């Protein structure tokens, strides 16, 4: 029996723009993604057994409300790796969940990514970060970025993975979120506050279509309309040159257009942070509903943390992963 534990980090979107809709129904996006120190711990145990016809998978978690069947992204990730590498034996996965669920923080995507990394290590498969990202994309659009962040934040995966040119904790994402260019991390303290509701990512992208008047092109038809709603290129320059004023000015999340209208409690949470006057920026992360606030001074975040715990039970004080 062999075992490994991997830290599965939460992510926020420093920016998220939707440029258009593809014939697949997926959206062409432009985003800056940043990993946070807040993490789940994914432990994977592998027992080889040539008598078995394939791989048996069992998932357990400390959260009773999380599906542990084949719907779980950790389960799916083990299935995909087994298909790729044709192994026989038992995979046992334990998910120590600390990241809130259905929150816009890529918690599930991270767990899927962690299982890919774990099995790559336990099976000594030697797959590169790029190869893991290819497999990860079939699990979800956020998975490749989670793979890159975990490569940086888990030295136990070995020098080849942590030294991979794609290992990074901040990245510029294009395509459906899978074309990733590493960026320097943004050093900041981050407060997360999740209103008590879960949001479906698919519902949010459908809602955005209505907001923007986007219609899915027919198969074979070219993507005609590509419209930018924020200056992501200038944001990248700001991150590279440590121009915090510029970063704060440009950061935005287009998905707020729909999610905040649909769930006013998100605006209520944002207002509660903004009115305290400590945060440099307050935005919704991903498809929501979690609101994040950025700070450059830790004590300012700590003051807001105390106050926000009274607004939403699921409130966390963390920082960006560097």
Ligand X SMILES: C[C@](O)(CO)[C@H](O)COP(=O)(O)OP(=O)(O)OC[C@H]1O[C@@H](n2ccc(N)nc2=O)[C@H](O)[C@@H]1O
Ligand Y SMILES: Nc1ncnc2c1ncn2[C@@H]1O[C@H](COP(=O)(O)OP(=O)(O)OP(=O)(O)O)[C@@H](O)[C@H]1O
Q: Which positions lie near ligand Y, rule CB under 6 A? A: 66-67, 71-74, 95, 101-109, 111, 142, 201, 286-287
76 catalytic residue (yes or no): no
User: Under rule CB under 6 A, which residues in 125-144 are in contact with ligand X?
Assistant: 140-142
Residues in the chain: 322
In the region spanning residues 21 to 50, those forming contacts with ligand X, defined by CB under 6 A, are 25-27, 29, 31
CB 191 to ligand Y: min, Å: 17
Cα three-residue angle 7-101-253, rounded to 5 degrees: 95
Residue 274 assigned ligand-binding role: no
Q: Given candidates 13, 15, 72, 269, which one binds ligand X under the rule CB under 6 A?
A: 13
Closest separation in Å from C-beta 199 to ligand Y = 7
List 17, 37, 40, 142, catalytic entry: 142
Q: Is 231 annotated in the active site?
A: no
In sequence order, what are the beta bridge partners of 44?
Answer: 4, 93
Residue 90: strand, helix, or coil: strand
Give the range of 39-47, 127-135, 161-169, 201-209 binding ligand X by CB under 6 A: 201-209
- The site partner of 67 among ligand X, ligand Y, none (C-beta below 5 to 8 Å per kind) is ligand Y
Residue 102 assigned as binding residue:
yes
Q: Encode burial over 47-83: b for 16+ CB neighbours within 10 A, e otherwise.
A: eeeeeeeebebebebeeeebebeeebbbbbbbbbbbe
Rounded Cα distance between 236 and 61, Å, is 37
How far apart are CB 14 and ligand Y at their closest, in Å? 14
CA distance 109 to 282: 24
Distance of CA 9 to the CA centre of its chain: 8
Give dist(CA 281, CA 240) in Å, integer: 18
Q: Which residue is closest to ligand Y by CB?
A: 108
Specify the 3-state DSSP secondary structure of 111: helix
Which are the catalytic amino acids? 11, 142
Q: Which residues lie near ligand X (CB under 6 A)?
A: 13, 16, 25-27, 29, 31, 106, 109, 140-142, 176-177, 201-202, 205, 286-287
């Amino acid at each position: 029996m062999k075992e490994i534990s991997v830290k599965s980090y939460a992510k926020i979107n420093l920016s998220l723009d939707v440029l258009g809709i593809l014939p697949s129904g997926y959206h062409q996006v432009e985003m800056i993604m940043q990993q946070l120190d807040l993490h789940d711990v994914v432990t994977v145990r592998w027992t080889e057994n040539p008598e078995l016809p394939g791989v048996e998978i069992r998932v357990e978690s400390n959260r009773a409300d999380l599906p542990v069947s084949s719907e779980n992204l950790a389960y799916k990730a083990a299935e995909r790796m087994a298909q790729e590498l044709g192994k026989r034996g038992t995979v046992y996965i334990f998910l120590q969940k600390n990241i809130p669920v259905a929150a816009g923080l890529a918690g599930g995507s991270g767990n899927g990514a962690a299982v890919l990394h774990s099995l790559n290590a336990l099976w000594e498969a030697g797959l590169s970060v790029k190869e893991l990202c290819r497999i990860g994309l079939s699990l979800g659009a956020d998975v490749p970025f989670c793979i890159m962040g975990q490569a940086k934040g888990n030295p136990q995966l070995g020098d080849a993975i942590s030294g991979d040119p794609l290992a990074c904790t901040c990245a510029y994402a294009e395509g459906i979120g899978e074309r990733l260019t590493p960026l320097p991390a943004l050093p900041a303290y981050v407060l997360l506050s999740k209103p008590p509701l879960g949001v479906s990512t698919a519902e949010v992208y459908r809602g955005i279509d209505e907001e923007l008047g986007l219609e899915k092109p027919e198969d074979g038809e070219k993507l005609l309309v590509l419209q930018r709603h924020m200056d992501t290129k200038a944001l990248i320059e700001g991150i590279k040159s440590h121009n915090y004023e510029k970063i704060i000015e440009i950061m935005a999340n287009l998905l707020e257009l729909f999610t905040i209208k649909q769930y006013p409690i998100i605006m209520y949470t944002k207002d509660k942070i903004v009115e305290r006057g400590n945060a440099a920026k307050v935005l919704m992360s991903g498809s929501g509903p979690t609101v994040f606030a950025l700070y450059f001074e830790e004590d300012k975040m700590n003051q807001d943390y105390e106050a926000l715990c009274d607004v939403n039970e699921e409130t966390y004080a963390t920082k960006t992963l560097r």
